[in-house]
Amino acid sequence: MNTKGLTRWGLALFFICAFVIMGFAARAHRADSGHPPMSGKVRFETIHVSSKVPGRIETIAVREGERVRKGDLLAVIDVPEIGARVEAAEGALKAASAKYRMALAGASEYDRKHVRSQYEAARSQYDYAKNSYRRIASMNDGRLIAQQEYERVKSNYLAARANLGAAEARLADIESGVRAEEIEMAEGNMLRAKGALREARSAYEERVVRAPADMRIESATMKPGELAAPGFPLFTGHAADTVHFRFTAPESVVHSFSRGEKYAIRTAFTGMAVDVVLDEILDLPGYAAVTSMYPRKKTGETAYELIFRPADGMEPDAVYHNMLIFMENAPQAGGAR
């Protein structure tokens, strides 16, 4: 074959290759000009379970990944000091309750007899001292006794009169009953003891850590024998009934979505279809919180987070936290689908 023929074949082959490359490029351009599915993530509300009392972990009753119901036992903390506080509070309440009952009942029969006998003795001593004083006083007027003897008898008389007054006051007090102020004071002491006991028992119950809601345990941070501090998370989990789906959309697209409207999504790898309803549109505080970025936002656009809830009931194990999801034919700028 001559050189001219080779040249013609070479040019033909070049143009064929060029047309093929241009066809593939145009096809790729048409594919790129479409809108790929909007991507998002499955989310559950995170629950951190902490202890209110410090102590050593005695028992861990659950494993990571286990699903628990509200009220199920998670852990037990050994706090011997709280047991001592409960016993002390129970003793204080018994003493305060007894004093309150005594205040309501008033003095016992023994106390009444004892006070009456003291009054009778004081009365007898007063009468004797009074008669002695009268006799010695008449003798003192006639200067028949020494002044010192007169002063001694007079002092005994005044002391006996004072003792009689005190005995009369005690007798009147015990016969009139307990004062209302004393009853109120006894009742206040009893109520304070009840509050202390309730506080101690509440702290004792806090040593048993239970699930605050239906949840899946994601992580257990403590092991038996370790020291747990108040407020430190012992368990982290995801609430079973809080599944939602989060997408991120730029400012130019977010107006194409409507709250309360139903949309269709699917999981990326299982292909499970789920009908969802747009629940809320939130302004994202920072780029680190972005869930997905289709369509890509332009310079100066604000990113928003779209929160969808399942339109119907959904099994908790149907999806897992942070799974990838897609929304086919997601609304675009201007309301186009």
The reply to whether 137 and 196 lie within a common domain is yes
Query: Edge-to-edge strand order for the sheet containing 73-78?
Result: 208-210, 73-78, 55-60, 227-228
The reply to whether 248 and 146 lie within a common domain is no
Which pLDDT score, from 0 to 100, does residue 133 have? 81
Q: Mean pLDDT for the chain?
A: 81
Model's pTM, two decimal places? Answer: 0.59
Higher pLDDT, 247 or 168: 247
Range of the domain at 52: 47-78+212-236
User: Cα 113–116–118 angle (5° rounding)?
Assistant: 110
- Asked if residue 14 belongs to a domain, the reply is no
Q: Is residue 3 scored above 80 in pLDDT? A: no
> For 14-62, what is each residue's pLDDT tens digit?
666 666 566 555 454 444 445 567 889 999 999 999 988 888 999 999 9
> For 122-170, what is each residue's pLDDT tens digit?
888 888 888 888 888 777 766 667 778 888 888 888 888 888 888 888 7
> Which of 208, 205, 213 lies closest to 68 in space, CA to CA?
213
Which pLDDT score, from 0 to 100, does residue 33 have? 44
Task: Confirm if 201 and 46 have CB atoms less than 8 A apart.
Answer: no
Which pLDDT score, from 0 to 100, does residue 29 have? 43
> Which residues lie below 8 Å from residue 302, measured CB to CB, with a gap of 6+?
250, 251, 283, 284
Mean pLDDT along residues 284-309: 68
Mean pLDDT along residues 269-294: 76
- Asked if residue 106 belongs to a domain, the reply is yes
Higher pLDDT, 185 or 104: 185
Kindly give the residue spans of alpha helices, DSSP state H, lying in 74-218. 80-105, 109-141, 147-176, 180-205
Q: Is residue 63 scored above 90 in pLDDT? A: yes
Across the strands, what pairs with 304? 249, 283
- Asked if residue 2 belongs to a domain, the reply is no
- Asked if residue 317 belongs to a domain, the reply is yes
> Which of 221, 225, 224 lies closest to 235 in space, CA to CA?
221
The reply to whether 198 and 103 lie within a common domain is yes
- Asked if residue 25 belongs to a domain, the reply is no
Q: Is residue 224 scored above 90 in pLDDT? A: yes
User: Cα 185–190–193 angle (5° rounding)?
Assistant: 125
> Given pLDDT bands bounded at 50, 70 and 90, which one contains residue 336?
very low
State the Cα torsion 69-72-75-80 to the nearest 10°: 150
Q: Which of 150-154, 200-204, 286-290 has the lowest mean pLDDT?
A: 286-290
SS3 196: helix
CATH code assigned at 303: 2.40.30.170
